[in-house]
Chain A
């Protein structure tokens, strides 16, 4: 690993002095934490697969009745564009484009994340209306738990973004804030990664 690339992903770079050094430990630690989180999702994916059969569905509504692939595609677009938008935060911080750029990019991410959540919650409500509540079958329990947990992560991401906007507004882009923005970046892209898995295995596989 080169001297200026202390952890996987876009590093702040040695121009940032103290913050760059701090990021080595802190962001690396966050990577480890995310790895642990990934394991949680991994087990939920495996559970989902194990309930995805007639026994697990227990005569309840199945994927064909419940999934609206168009809405899922819209959610995917929102979330992935949200991931791209975070590039504005990372680059704006690294190349010192000023706090307005960073805050604007953060707001864009939050808005796209909220758009994702809007369509996801709408889907959940529609599905519940069709009898697809988590209490209906083991498969639906697994579906709600996995997709719901991802949704909770996105919601936490939006809360974290709001907290960071408040921190930038009050403290400015100091070293600590820059390191935290790097961690938030890892988290925000992690949500995209999980979503790619959900889109493929939760939605596409049973519909195929």
Chain B
């Protein structure tokens, strides 16, 4: 940063990579840094080489990157999330390893695997990645894939906007990734509180990487929220009344509404911080009338609804799987709908509990403390509803049910520690300690991660035509449960013993046993991650044995199970007319559920376009240029975005027409296939006899 800014390369020079640090001083911290950068570089090279060797560039571009199909966009979101999940878990492992080796003495305070500044980058990227580039793409991806199918729609309301949203999210993830190699990431945690992250105390590119990643992906998420909401309001199949929608659609609606209202707050707080840093504004500075607590307020106006944005889709998944894998109708549908909506509304009234210690009056704290405790009630209602759904059902212990059971046991602990923290006077004692770290991991991992992985396991056959291996799926689930227990429950104890969060060093030897247990838990989490990827790989290899062309491997009751697996581009040969809440279940109870529609029509689908890709490319160049102060590139790429939109506006875009004959041919082939496959009972669900055609004499939904 000492050299003058170059007009062409901005602040970029050869000194910014971690290899420079490694050359300057070889120690465990610089080795870890350079190693991470090397993994990124080698991974990219390997990816490019594989795509080139397999000649996949063309298919990747034609079938995926330019596709406006919500199902494919959903799969791409989830692929992105899994890549980022790998980095996030590895970072968590490095942090736990560091703390297991970080016991210092009063004379020699710093110790452990990585340097304090490096540790701060680790917890900042870990939080940013896990929230914005794992949890968000996972749930957005899952909703993209499932929602239109459950509503009886062919696509999202705005397919091209959807593509742009995916592009913008990927840009954010790419910025965080590239900060491994070029420059450093911010050290202010995933919330990046000023004034520490202001230009005075955090000069350099770190905070800017975060800012642009958040601003750009945040716009993508806002557009996604709008897209989901409009899809639910306007694209439901005829007869799909609101109170007939599957619960997953309801929670998606809650998520959409929350995204529309919450994401702008994040955009505003980040934009204000950017103005402070780039243009010398005084929103959050110490001097000249700045007020950093405004940042905390605006950030958490987004941040608290955000945690419910994360959890509600998981609640939707649990509602689907608890019913399907118990062979019972969902208990308390209406109460679940009301509970979801209550959570969505109340979540906007609790943000202040993130800074009880700010110094406002006790009365204000109490009001927000009570609101926080109240939000536990609808959540409790849901847990009882799911348990009642499973009560006396024919529960099969599939991987999603392992996740659900783990969720029941662990999430309740996390929720209760949340109620404890909601009490301001207790919060004063344990705030900013690892007790808090344990609490939010305790709700996010069993809630969001288990929910999303359960959802992936549940809908995977619909996306790819074959089931995931149940044995490996269960092993993964058990490892994630065990990994969580060992990693995070000790942090409750450590927090109560006084261990501050985000601390790179400590001098109390009594912490060590708990640190070792947590370190062991981190090893289990790594094993779980490996096992997760192994599940995909081994299932892919056995895809013939696991194939479920009948499309209904779990005897489900919602519309998406009525189509082939993998679902065709147009999803439904004719838009279904919904008669009941559990429409596909009801259809299976009537005669001949797989009867063909009377006639087929041409289907209009949105045509492929590179629009999302181009906008993402321009946004990436803009963000990267802003981070490194390469002004010419920033201006050019910024202008490119409205230019691209205006250009597309001038073009007359014809939809892709799929001929009725083609639909009929594919649909008849599917129905023929279903007729030839033998039906499978639930008892044989896990065996290779499961071809996706359930025994309709067994009750579904």
Residues in A lying within 8 Å of B, measured CB to CB: 24-26, 28-29, 32-33, 35-37, 39-40, 43-44, 47, 50-51, 55-58, 60, 134-142, 144-145, 156, 159, 163, 166-167, 170-171, 174, 176, 180
Contact = CB atoms under 8 A, between A and B. Distances in A.
Interface string B288-310: 11110010001001000000000
A32 B229 contact: yes
Contacts of A40: 264, 267-268
B260 A36 contact: yes
Interface string B263-292: 111011001100110011111010111110
Nearest to B262: A39
Given A57-B289, A138-B282, A166-B650, A50 B230 contact: no
Given A47-B294, A134-B279, A145-B281, A37 B264 contact: yes
A50 B265 contact: no
Given A137-B282, A138-B285, A145-B281, 14 more contacts: A25-B157, A33-B226, A39-B261, A58-B287, A134-B279, A138-B283, A138-B291, A141-B272, A141-B290, A142-B283, A163-B649, A167-B649, A171-B650, A174-B652
A156 B639 CA distance: 12
B234 A25 contact: yes
Contacts of B217: none
Nearest to A7: B234
B230 A29 contact: yes
A25 B156 CA distance: 11
Interface in B618-673: 642, 646, 649-650, 652
A156 B229 CA distance: 25
A135 B282 contact: yes
Contacts of A176: 652
B196 interface: no
Mostly, the A contact residues are helix
A6 to B, nearest CB: 9
Nearest to B302: A43
B235 interface: yes
A60 B281 CA distance: 13
Given A39-B265, A40-B264, A135 B650 contact: no
B67 interface: no
A28 B281 contact: no
Given A170-B650, A171-B650, A135 B301 contact: no
Given A36-B261, A58-B288, A137-B288, A43 B298 contact: yes
Q: What is the size category of the interface that chain B forms with chain A?
A: 35 or more
Contacts of B227: 29
B222 interface: yes
B391 interface: no
B671 to A, nearest CB: 31
A51 B284 CA distance: 11
Given A36-B226, A166-B650, A138 B290 contact: yes
A144 B279 CA distance: 12
B9 interface: no
B56 interface: no
Contacts of A145: 271-272, 275, 281, 283
Interchain residue pairs A-B with the least CB separation, the first 4? A138-B289, A58-B289, A141-B281, A39-B264
Contacts of A60: 288-289
Contacts of A56: 289, 291
A151 to B, nearest CB: 15
Given A28-B233, A47-B283, A180 B649 contact: yes
30 contacts: A24-B234, A29-B226, A29-B227, A32-B226, A32-B230, A36-B222, A36-B225, A36-B226, A36-B260, A43-B264, A43-B268, A43-B298, A43-B301, A50-B294, A55-B291, A58-B282, A58-B288, A60-B289, A134-B275, A134-B281, A135-B279, A137-B282, A137-B288, A138-B288, A142-B283, A145-B275, A145-B281, A167-B649, A167-B650, A176-B652
A35 to B, nearest CB: 6
Given A25-B235, A35-B260, A43-B265, A141 B157 contact: no
Contacts of B283: 47, 138, 141-142, 145
Contacts of B275: 134, 141, 145
A29 B301 CA distance: 23
Nearest to A42: B264
A50 B282 CA distance: 13
A149 to B, nearest CB: 9
A29 B158 contact: yes
Contacts of A26: 158
